[in-house]
Amino acid sequence: MTRPPAPLLDIAGLSIRFGGLAALTEVDLAVGAGEIFALIGPNGAGKTTVFNVLTGLYRAASGRVRFDGHDLLARAPHAVARLGVARTFQNTEVFRGLSALDNVLIGAHARLRGHVIAAALGLPGVRREEARARDRARALLGRVGLGDVAGRDAAGLPLGLQKRVELARALALEPRLLLLDEPAGGLNPTETRTLMAVIRGLRDERGLTIVVVEHDMELVMGISDRVAVLDHGRKIAEGEPRHIVTDAAVVEAYLGSEEDA
C-alpha cells in the first residue's frame, strides 16, 4: 500500500523485546495529519506496546519513530507530551478524590507557564493563567458531553463517563496527535456510539490526528480512515476498513485456521 505523503507520525522497523519475547518485530506505520487510524489485533499482539514506545514508557531495541520530524525514541514521557502527543489508557486512570474538572486541570499542567514559586505567591499573572485553564477545562468537559458533572468526584462516575473525563484530560494537553487505548472497552452500545461521535467530531473540528487501539469492530469500522493489524508483534495487514475485514490473514489471526479448529 502507498504510504501517505509527509506523514505526521512515521514508524519504521520498530522492534522491542522483553527477555526472550519479541513484543514487536520490524513494525512500519505511517499516519497522515488529520487521519483516524486504527490499530487492531488479538490480545497480546503488541498494540499497547506501540503506544508505550511512542510515549516514552518503553525503549525500543531498534527502529525509528518520528512525530512531525521529531525523534520520539530519545525523549522522556513529559517531553513527548510537550511536543503534542497525548494518550488515554486501556485501564481508565482517573484521580480518586478529585472532581472531573480537577482531573482535566491536571492534564493542562504541562501547558501552564507559571513558575512554581510564582504560583505559591499567588501572583496576578499566574492567577489569570489558572483561571483561563479552569475555563478551558470546563469547555473541554462540555465538548465531551460532561458539562453537568464538572464538580462530581471523577472516580464515582460510571465507566463510560470516566472514559470521557480521561479523554478531556488528554485534550487539555492541546495535542496534535491523540492516542486512544481501547476507548470503548466496557461500554454498552449506546455509550460506544456516543463516543464514536465525539471522536469523529474532534478530528473534524480540531484537525486532530487520532490513533485508536480497539477491539470493538463497530467503532473501528465506523470511524477509521485506515486500519493496521498486528499479530504476535508483526504487522500482517493494512488498508481501508472494508478491505481489512475480508483479508484472509486477518480472519485467520482472529478466528484461527480450519486446521487449528
- In the predicted model, is pLDDT for residue 175 greater than 90? yes
Cα 34 to Cα 191: distance, rounded to the nearest angstrom:
24
3-state class (DSSP) for residue 131 = helix
Q: How many residues does the chain have?
A: 261
**Which of these, 88, 96, 44, lies nearest to 177 by C-alpha position?**
88
According to the model, what pLDDT value does residue 46 have?
95
Please compute the mean of the pLDDT values over residues 111-123 and round it to a whole number: 48
CATH topology of domain 1-84+175-261: Rossmann fold (3.40.50)
Q: Model confidence at 72, in pLDDT bands (50, 70, 90)?
A: very high
Please compute the mean of the pLDDT values over residues 205-222 and round it to a whole number: 94
Which regions of the chain does DSSP assign to beta strands (E)? 9-18, 21-31, 36-40, 62-67, 70-71, 85-87, 177-181, 209-213, 226-231, 234-239
Report residue 210 as a C-alpha cell.
Answer: 487520532
According to the model, what pLDDT value does residue 142 have?
95
DSSP label of 152: S
Domain-wise residue ranges, the chain: 1-84+175-261, 95-174
Cα 135 to Cα 138: distance, rounded to the nearest angstrom:
5
According to the model, what pLDDT value does residue 260 have?
42
Whole-model pTM: value is 0.88
